[in-house]
DNA sequence: GTGTTTGCAAACAATTTGCAGAATT
DNA sequence: AATTCTGCAAATTGTTTGCAAACAC
């Protein structure tokens, strides 16, 4: 079996993510960890992020365009992507068990769960739109 | 403005997709269109798929790992990805308008809609699992 | 003719991988 | 000492782009 060993790099990646709600990309993590480990490589960041996902310490968000994003919150929950700025935010809503049941009824095959990505305009971008004069 | 011109390649891509429910990738489309247009390039396939998506004639499915997939059905609906074989199938269920409202309540910002990807085991893979003797 | 579309190849972005050396147990 | 982890660079995968020629209108 595996037998994971300690790694300062991995620790600091975990720590960087902890508390964040902005769901950074691997590259953002890399840029930030470099302050502490100037020689860390992007490969190491990817390897550790994947490892952390696989042992369930963080979770991965896919489906928006561009890079995947990482979330210290491993409780299943919904996400929102802003069409304007591309930011990804949490939607504090528990995934509806109900939806899975409905889907299971409409489908043959076993449904274990679902991921949902809401899209629209985030608060910041709505404000910006108001400030801006009408384009011509 | 644009002024789109006819293209046999584009027509045949549309036709290949029409009626399908297996949500092919760009590469699968490419492989198949080559039977009719042996010199078509992958770039042309990508360009046409994007164009068709942008004028609303087909839709694009993202979020599973690997390549994006394309769907002749432009009515918003849910999809299922099999964890075993990776196949993507339709779930004949209308997206719940309700979910958008619930999300909007739990979130500040404007929510326009959502995409949902169910995951689990497809019927075929369930059957295969039954046939196979227990691994040791 | 003008403007769109094509094939080809090169460019690109995100992510993964092979390997020799460094760090952890 | 054994094994895991790291940095680096090269490789992969999926997709986009620049350009001259071909095609549609």
Report the C-alpha gap between A85 and B109 in whole angstroms: 13
Of A81, A113, A84, nearest to B107 (Cα)? A81
Chain A stretch 55-114, residues whose beta carbon is closer than 8 A to a beta carbon of chain B:
62-65, 78, 80, 82-83, 89, 91-93, 96, 99-100, 102-103, 106-114
What's the token pair of residue B108? 């500040």
Report the C-alpha gap between B75 and A135 in whole angstroms: 32
Report pLDDT for A27. Answer: 98
Report pLDDT for B86. Answer: 94
pLDDT tens profile A93-118? 999 999 999 999 999 999 999 999 99
Report pLDDT for A136. Answer: 56
Give DSSP secondary structure letters for B56-125: TSSEEE--SSSS-EEES--S--EEEEETTT--EEEE-----HHHHHHHHHTSSEEEEEEEEEEEEEEHHH
- What is the rounded average pLDDT of the residues A9-37? 97
With beta carbons under 8 A apart, name residues in chain B contacting A110: 120-121, 126
Give first-to-last CA distance, chain B, whole Å.
64
pLDDT tens profile B28-74? 999 999 999 999 999 999 999 999 999 999 999 999 989 999 999 99
Indicate yes or no: strand C within 7 A of the C-beta of B37: yes
- What is the rounded average pLDDT of the residues B93-102? 93
Instruction: Decide if B80 and A103 are in contact by the 8 Å CB cutoff.
Output: yes
With beta carbons under 8 A apart, name residues in chain B contacting A106: 91-93
CA angle, B12 then B15 then B16, to 5°: 85
Report pLDDT for A128. Answer: 87
Which residues have C-beta within 8 Å of that of residue A13, sequence separation ≥ 6? A29, A33, A45, A48, A49, A52
Confidence bin at B135 (pLDDT 50/70/90): low
Task: Tell me: pLDDT of B1 over 70.
Answer: no
Neighbours of A25 (CB within 10 A): 16
Report pLDDT for B67. Answer: 96
Instruction: Decide if B123 and A109 are in contact by the 8 Å CB cutoff.
Output: yes
Residue B82 phi/psi, 5-degree rounding, is: -85, 130
pLDDT tens profile A58-75? 999 999 989 999 999 999
Chain centre to alpha carbon of residue A84:
18
Task: Tell me: pLDDT of A120 over 70.
Answer: yes
Report the C-alpha gap between B50 and A44 in whole angstroms: 34
Q: Which helix (H) or strand (E) holds B22?
A: none
Confidence bin at A129 (pLDDT 50/70/90): confident
- What is the rounded average pLDDT of the residues A18-27? 96
């Amino acid at each position: 079996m595996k037998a994971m060993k300690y790694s300062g790099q991995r620790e600091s990646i975990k720590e960087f993510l902890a508390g964040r709600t902005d769901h950074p990309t691997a590259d953002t993590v890399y840029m930030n960890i470099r302050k502490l480990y100037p020689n860390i490589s992007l490969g190491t960041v990817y390897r550790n992020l994947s490892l952390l996902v696989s042992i369930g310490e963080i979770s991965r968000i896919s489906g928006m365009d561009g890079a995947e994003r990482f979330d210290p919150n491993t409780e299943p929950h919904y996400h929102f992507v802003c069409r304007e700025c591309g930011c990804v935010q949490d939607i504090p809503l528990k995934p509806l068990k109900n939806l899975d049941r409905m889907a299971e009824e409409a489908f043959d095959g076993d449904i274990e769960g679902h991921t949902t990505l809401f899209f629209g305009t985030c608060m910041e971008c709505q404000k910006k739109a108001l400030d801006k004069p009408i384009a011509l």
